[in-house]
Every structure is written in structure tokens, then in C-alpha cells.
Structure 1
């Protein structure tokens, strides 16, 4: 509600045709004289506005630019500012400012009068002495070099001999507001102030350029449009502040007075267009909120219309209309962000916070620029602070949106995977029912099946196909892959002594223990022969494969088969393990693991033998122990 009140206040002020634009903002006595200011006294210099008088140009005197201070009628009554900031909102009049100066020191001195407000159409400085007058005529309607001093604002050099007095007159006129932050500085004070402002502005504009380029590079690399719109917004915002602060006229188009005036409303209109395009893309309103999408489409059309108005209308009308429209657009985006936040888009929260800062900063800056609140320089710093905070929050909001999008993609992928698994399970059940009825089809499908019917493990067909895939992935990503080949010891004796039914029971027992030995979904357990088994362990180094296999061999040796049937059949297995080498084929890997298995058999059985490595193993630099 505070934001709305501020917007309404500014709109009413700008729309009022008889507002303070026709009556000067400071209230002072009509007959008060201009107190003499001792330029040597720093206290009096700090209280410059207590020594300042002003008056509005009478309309019956003709062209004000043709009138010298000496031609002003004596009966005109100067008004004292009484320490209040000189600001004339939406001024259509011409104004005179007067300062009576005197050097009370014993030596000559040099000072600068600074007018720290760039958008002034015409300004004339006349320093009247006893021995003559010097005149500087400048302003945005004249080339920049008319100022004499290369400075973004206006500086008037004042030199006074010891005991010399002079009167300084300023004549001003502008299509827009006149905000006149005046100060009288020594050269040292001016240099110190300029150094501080140079550092502050350098950091601000440098950070703005870096963020804009960073977003532009993200757009080029990813193709995501809101990165481009964010870069566009920061560039147009920087251009607006650059123009409003006088830097653009000083550095970009010093010979073009037309651009000096037009750049301010034009860059504001560009900002309005950029923020609307960014908000529409970032908040994802096109598909999810058709009504909001139509509203933002209309706002985009309004922003394009503001660009036309900035070029077609006079400055005073264009700046007022565009300021109100831009503030209304910012508030609209603020409330749209709130709605999207309430709809569950967590990244919209940071968007709303960023625009809260922007609304407050813009409102304060606009009121200061139009002369409704004093101390324009301080409000400029507040605006820069607000923009800095907004840019940081806006880019953080982009990061949060990316994280939110990744989370949504991950959830969607998991849901799709679970749905696919359910569908596969349903189809498998249907196929199994059908295969019970069709013996011939069952035989063909069984031959192509990837499961061993006795143990439930993967069979040789699945093993070969999966091993090919894992070898390809291991070579591509430089990750380790371990192959373990196992064979039951003296299994023929079990079949001969107990019969094949007990032998099958022992094989199922081995399979169950192998299933318990591995826990990761990507690991593969297969039976590829009568009593031969294999383990595929991706992302597992040699030490990890040895640990898994030895734990299995120890558990199997301590857990006889057939205990439920009243039998206690001890079982042991021999194993050979090989780690995939660089450029090694499937056949070569299997051959090395099989050779290691035979060495385990020859070495006494019930043990694990590691195959020898010839080239460097795949993923040597990134091997990770299996957890």
C-alpha cells in the first residue's frame, strides 16, 4: 500500500497543471535581501542556501536569454531560499538565482560553484564585478564544450582578489523540472568530492556492465531468452542513469544537444520494455497464465508506444508520461510476481523482493528528479544502492529459477521412470500369462529372455549386451569397470553325490548370496554357465571389487546350502577379477578375468585372483573406492 500511495502521489503531482511548476517550491520572504557570503568561511559555504536569492522571470520582459542582470527592473523582489533546497517541479518559467560573494581574506582566492543537476536546458552564469562581468552560457541545448570545464554537471570558476566582492547570477530554464543542488567548493574540496564520486560510480557502472555481459554470455551459450532480456534491462537501465547523471552527454554525444534531452525519456522507455519482456519470460506466464500473458503482451505494446512518445513529444510531456507509465509497469510486474509466488513458484519470491527495492528506489529518485523532495545527489546514491540490490536479487532469482527447473525436471524424470517401470511390469505379466497358453511362443521367448530360469539371475545374453554398454561408457567417461568371474568348486561331486535337484538348490543358494553381496542398481549379477557366475561392477576400482568378492566368498563358505531341507552342504567358489584397461575390448577383458579364475582353481580354490594389468586401467586418475 505504501508503494501505491507513492505512485498515486507522483502521478497527481505530474498530472497537475497548476502544481509547483508554476510556483517555486521554496517558501521565503518576498522582501528578504540576499545576505553577503564570505567565501573564505567554510561554515558559510556549507550554508550556501541561506545566502541564496531567486526570482521567476516576468513574462512581460520578452526573451529572457536576451536580458542581462543589469536590465532586470529594480522593483523586482528577490526571494530568499532560507536554507531550503531550490527545486521547481515541472517548471515552464525562467528563474534567476543570485549570490553576493566577498573574499574577506588577505590573499586572492579561487573557488568553484557547482550545480549538480544535469538535465537543464539553458543555464547562464554571470559573475559581476566592479571592473566588469564574465558570462558562461551553457545547458543541454548547447554543445557540451560550452561549459568550459569538462565535467558532467556544471562548474563555474570564481576568482576573487583580497577584499573583492562580486555578485553571481544564474539564469535557468528547462522544459522539465529544475532541481538546483548548489555548492561552493575550494579546488581541494572539489577534487576530494570528485574522487569519491568517481570511485562510487566506477564500481556501480562496472558491476552493471559485468552483470549485463555475464547474462549475455549465458544467453549465447544456453539460448534461454530471459538471460538476454535481463542483459537488455541492465544495459538500458545503465544508459538511463548515465544520461540522467550527465555522463552520456559528457562522453557519448557531447556534440548533440538533441540527444542530451531525448536520451532520458528514451532510455526510460527502453527500461520499461526490457523489464516487461524479462518478467514475461522469467515468470513463465505464456503457457501457465493466459490472462496474465495477455496483460503483459499489452504492456509490451504500451512500452513500444512509449518509445515513440519519447521521440515525438516535447521533453516535459514525454518525461512525465513515461515516468508514470514506467512506475505503473514496475508495480504491475511486482504484483504479477506476488501472484506467481503464491502459485508455488519459489524463484518468484526473489523476483518480488528485487522489484520491491526497485519500486522504492525509483519512486524516491523520480520524486527527487521532479523536484518534489530535496537533495538530488543523495537520492541518486539511494537509487544506485536500490538498483545494486535489485540486480543482485534479480540474478539470484535467476539462479533459483534454474534450480527450481532442475528439480522439476528431476521429479518429472523419476515419475516417468516409475510409470515406465509399472507399465513394463504390467506388460511382463501379460506376456507371462500369454506364454503359459502358447507353448511354442514361450519356447521362442524363453530363448531370447535375459533371465536364467533356475536362479532368477541375468543370463549370458544379458551379460554380453550389458558388458558392451558398460565398456563403452567406461571408455567415454574414463570411469573404472570391474569384471568378476566365479565358478563353484567341486560342483560335479555335489551333483554326483546328492543328485541334480540338490545341485540346482545349491545354485539357487549361490545366486541368492550373490544378490545380497551387491546393493547398487547399476551392478549386474549373471549366471552364464552351469555353475559359472559373473559380476559387473561399474564405477568400482580393483580394491572395491576385491572387497565385495572376498566378503561374498567368506559369507558363502560360512553358510552351507540346503539347511532348510535338513542338509548342510558346504560350498566354495573360485573367482578371478579383472579391471578394464584402456582400449580393451570385451573379449580381452573376459579372457583376462577367466585366466585369473583358472589360476585361482589351480592355486587351491576358494580364493580370488587378480588378473594382470598391461596398459593403464580406464579411469585411473578418477578411480573411486566402492562404498
Structure 2
């Protein structure tokens, strides 16, 4: 079997088994069954309670601007548990959901539409009290969403026994994905934090690798380092825009640029991957492969210009097609260079295999041929992450191969090439010094909290097991104290996050003053959460330290921007290592003690007992 078929056949198999959850499978129903918002099972099966209507141009439903203008005899279509996914269309889609509160008290939920790239979305709520319509989307300023979030969130407040009908009118020049969920505020916050962590790791890693390669370029002058940095930065920006973050943070008021930015950044990414692939694979000049890549690079440049001239639906199709062609061409060229004996191409092919699969699946989801856009987005991020790691490893292998060639040249032609070998060796040493320096800087950054200067959670995770093992070996006590600022969300809401950051720095300064012994360690491991590791300190000693910290914090007023003095308090929980404890047990008992301190009025210290273990 030819070598390229070994990679293409598994990829084709992966695409053939990928699930297609299309709304076209739904059937018609005269009404939409009401969803009990208090029932988690029904919230989980929300799409079984959703009905929709596809309004083609020229129909009364397409011209209607509100639910009151819809014909009375229209037939709604049940989603029957499937996500609503539609490819490029000029139709307007109406979506309806009946929600009821079977409880005895008023409660709040959030209706979340987990797809950021929609031109216009209008929400209506009707029930005992008719709420105002909310119109938002990429063709409106970002603040029109009401909640600073990349997805669309609609607060749904229901009184006891109340039923509301939520109607949405959705229109977009691209594909239409309508993945809906009804969540409690707690679930919404938890999922948001989880996704923030995933995206933070992904985009942070891309940024670090891009900066790292840029430093290597400046130190070594090697072109493929620059192209690699250019590729990772442009791909990261494209995915940032596709995920709705760019519209949220970069151009929230530029409604016209929201759509233009997607094909524009895609064309830049296509150009970057072409230049990097040609440089890394060392494609010989004036060959067919070189001419093909030159043509694709020029095409990408032309599509960058056309992104400002063509309609979004045409521009995005052209850019997607060219991007997939470039990925496929580079994949084939990598296989050819591998067969020609260029060993780094093996890792390049492996990296590009995942990228090809990820790009195909992500494109199908973005164009409305696959459901669950969020899962495809995370799959694409995983594919890109694996590609970045493999590409950088491939560059290490490339460097090793280059070093071996230099040694061979030195051995075979020492007299003629002695000067060139010396210069190249010096250049490589300089690159390695920069690499070692960058690694040291990254190690320091990875162990310290950027805002407060204290150690971070990673340092605590590394140090705490060692301290526990030492305490068990020597018989000396080890105590951990967990501290949490009281009502800190209210501080941020009242005075802003910049003042909240100053408060956290103020707390960190007090911790430094009280953590005096050389082996004691102060740590910030969460937003307003801190920890103190006290080796050689028993429970009473830790209690004294915590009470001193709490008294100092409560006694000092932090001036806000308008001069208002703000009082801060903290709650603390301590736990001393028991013989049967490991680091997880110790942390858990301290956390339970902190929880008791919160429950018993805050601004106090609680100690873990042996029974809590």
C-alpha cells in the first residue's frame, strides 16, 4: 500500500463515522411541550421541547418582525431532541420554547445559545408579564447582548407556577447553529470557568510558542522560526475570532468588521501555513511543489484583499476551500519529502494528519453540516495543540539533523570549512543560551502569580507532597491555612476589577509581613483564595498566624478611586497533618474548616479536627 494511503484511509474513515445531527430529521407538531425548568432531566433534554419554523424569503414568516406578526395557522416543527443546524441559507428561523416553574418560589435560569457567529438574534418573552425584546448578534454592538459573554445568554426569571413562552428570530449570512441549553446560574458559571481554563491554556500556549519561536528567530536569524511564529499567531487569532472572543474583546463596537474579520484572518492563516511549510520542508526552488505553494500564497494574499470586497458567505467559502487545499498539499508534500529521506518530514506529516482531520471536521461544523459546534471547537483546539507540539519537536529533530550535517562537514572538510563551522556552532550555542534563558524565565513565570508576586497553585502542588513526606519522616508538625476574602464578588461589582486587583495586592502584602520564617510559604491559588504552608508549626501556632492576618486586614481601610475607604475581611481554615493524611486529605480538611468559618459568620479562623478526616 502506498505510504500516503496509510494516512488518508484512516482519515476518511474518521469522517465517515462522524455523526450528522441535522434538524431536517425533525417532524411537525402542532405545539411545543412545556419544559419544567426545575427538572434537571427535562433541562438536559431541552431540544425535545423546542419547536422551530424555517421562513424562506418572500413568505409572511420571513417578513415578520415579531411573533405577533406570524400567521396564526403556521405549523411549528419539533426539534425532537436534535440540535438545530443549518448550512448557508437566506431563510429566517423562528425558534420557540415554553418554560414553566413548578416550584413554590421565584427562580432565575439562563437560556444559552452556544454559537457566537450569528448576525442577528432577537428574543421575546411572554407570560404573565411581557418582557421587552432583546435584539443582538454580530451586526449589533457587543453590549447589546446585555451580558458580557461570547455566547448569547437570556436571563429567564419565573415566578412560582409561572409559564413563559420564549421566541427567537435568528438570521445570519453564514451557517446557522442553534445549540440551546437552559442552565442554573451556578451551572453557567461553572461551565464558563471550565471553558475559560481550557481556552486560557490553549491560547496561552500558542502565544508562548509563538513568542518563543520569534525569540529564536531574532537570536539565530533562521527564517522558519519566524514563519512558525507567524503561523501560530495567525491561527490563534483566527480561532479567537471564530470562538467569538475577538468580537467580545477586540472590536465590540465594529459591527461591520465582525464578519469581515473571519475570512480575513483565515486568509492570513493560509498564507502563514504555506510559508512555514515551504521553509520547514526545504522545498527546492523552481520545482512543481515550489510553484504550487507560490500560487497558493498569492491566492491567499488575494483572498485577504477580497475579504473586504466580497459578501461574507462567498468569501468564507472561498477561504475555507483554499485553506483545505493548502493543508492537503502540505500533507502530500510532507509525505514526498519523507520518502526522499528528509527525516524531520515524518513529524511534520504526523502533525499535519491531525490538522487535516481537525480542519475538515471544524469546517463541517462551521458550515452547518455537523452539530455541537463547541465540541468541534475543542476538538480543533486539541488538533492544533498536538500539531504545535509535534511541529516544535520536528524543529528540534531538524536542528539535530542540521547539527549532524555540520559535524560531518567538519570531519570531511575541516580545513576548507573551518571558519563556517565555527560560525555556525557559535550561532547554535547562542540559540541554546537563548532557549535556556527562555526556559528559566518560563519556569519562574509558571511558579509565580503575576498579580500579587506570591507563589501560585502549581508551586503549592509541587511543594506540598514534599513537605508532607518530610513531616512524616521527621515527626515535625505541618500545618496548612486556607484563606478566602469575604464577599469579594461584591467588591468587584461595586468598585470594579481594577480596585479588586489592588485589594488582592494589599492582602498579599499583609501575608508577606506575617509569613516571616524562611520555610513558610504564602500562595495565591485562586481568584481571592490564598494558602499558607507552615512546616514546623502546630495548630495553635497556625491559629495565631491566621488571627494576626485577619486582624490586620480588618483594621486597614483600602481607599477606592473616589476616596471611599473600603474594609476587607477574610475567613481562614487550618489543618495540621495527621499520620494517616496525604496532601489531598490535608488540603481537604483545611478547606472544610474554611467552609465552616464562612458558614459561622466569616472574618474568623476555624481549625480542622481529627474527626473531620
8 Å CA contact 1:212–1:231 kept in 2: the answer is yes
Match of 1:200 in 2: 198
Unaligned runs of 5+ in 1: 11-19, 422-627
Matching of residue 105 in structure 1 with residue 118 in structure 2 = no
Query: Structure 1 residues 373-382 or 304-313, which shifts more?
Result: 304-313
Alignment of 1:433-582 (within 5 A): none
* Aligned 8 A contact 1:120 1:140 in 2: yes
Q: Partners in 2 of 1:293 and 1:339 — Cα distance?
A: 13
RMSD (CA atoms) = 2.4
Q: Are 1:328 and 2:330 an aligned pair?
A: no
CA gap of 1:392–1:255, structure 2 versus 1, over 3 A, is same
Q: 1:37 is matched with which residue: 35, 42, 59?
A: 35
- Which residue among 21, 26, 32 is the counterpart of 2:24? 26
**8 Å Cα contact 1:7/1:363 also seen in 2:** no
Q: Secondary structure at the match of 2:24?
A: coil
Q: Residues of 2 paired with 1:407 and 1:30: CA distance? A: 69
- The reply on whether 1:150 has 2:159 as its aligned counterpart is no
Whether contact under 8 Å (1:128, 1:134) holds in the other structure is: no
1:373 is matched with which residue: 357, 370, 373?
A: 370
Structure 2: runs of 5+ lacking an equivalent: 419-613
Task: Name the CA shift for 1:366/1:109 in 2 (closer, same or farther; >3 Å).
Answer: same
**Is 1:177 aligned to 2:175, yes or no?**
yes
Give the equivalent residue in structure 2 for 1:576: none
Q: Give the aligned partner of residue 405 of structure 1.
A: 402
Contact 1:7–1:328 at 8 Å: present in 2 too? no
Deviates more, 1:225-234 or 1:128-137: 128-137
Native 8 Å contact 1:55 1:96 kept in 2: yes
Return 307-316 or 246-255, whichever deviates more. 307-316
Q: Which residue of 2 aligns with 1:236?
A: 234
Distance 1:319 1:161, change over 3 A: same
Q: Is the 8 A contact 1:49 1:82 kept in 2?
A: yes
Superposition deviation, residue 171 in structure 1: 0.5
Please, which of 248, 253, 256 is the counterpart of residue 254 of structure 2?
256
The CA deviation at 1:29 is: 1.8
Question: Over residues 498-546 of structure 1, what are the superposed CA-to-partner deviations in whole Å (9 max), with x where a residue is unaligned?
Answer: xxxxxxxxxxxxxxxxxxxxxxxxxxxxxxxxxxxxxxxxxxxxxxxxx
Distance in 2 between residues matched to 1:5 and 1:211, nearest whole Å: 29
Once the 2 structures are TM-superposed, how far is the Cα of residue 26 of structure 1 from its aligned partner? 2.9
> How far off its partner does 1:310 sit?
1.8
What TM-score results when the alignment is normalised by the length of structure 1?
0.63
Q: Which moved more, 1:181-190 or 1:309-318?
A: 309-318
Matching residue of 1:161: 159
Structure 1 contact 3–360 (Cα < 8 Å) conserved: no
**Contact in 1 for aligned 2:22/2:83 (Cα 8 Å):** no
Contact 1:37/1:102, CA 8 A, preserved across alignment: yes
Match of 1:438 in 2: none
3-state DSSP class of the match of 2:394? helix
What SS class does the counterpart of residue 51 from structure 2 fall into?
strand
Task: Please list, as runs of the form range in 1=range in 2, the aligned pairs for 1:64-79 lying within 5 A after superposition.
Answer: 64=62, 67-79=65-77
Query: Displacement of 1:131 after TM fit?
Result: 2.8
* Distance apart, 1:59 and its partner CA: 3.0
* Residue pair 1:126, 1:134 contacting (<8 A) in 2 also: yes
State yes or no: 1:304 paired with 2:301.
Answer: yes
2:131 to 130, 133, 150: 133
Q: What is the deviation of 1:5?
A: 10
TM-score when normalising by structure 2:
0.64
For residue 412 of structure 1, report the CA deviation from its aligned partner: 2.0
Judge conservation of contact 1:39–1:103 (CA < 8 Å) in 2: yes
Distance 1:25 1:312 in 2: 32
Determine the structure 1 residue equivalent to 2:92.
94
SS state of the match for residue 60, structure 1? coil
Number of aligned positions between the proteins: 409
Once residues 404 and 364 of structure 1 are traced to their aligned partners in structure 2, the CA distance between those partners, rounded to angstroms, is 34
Match of 2:207 in 1: 209
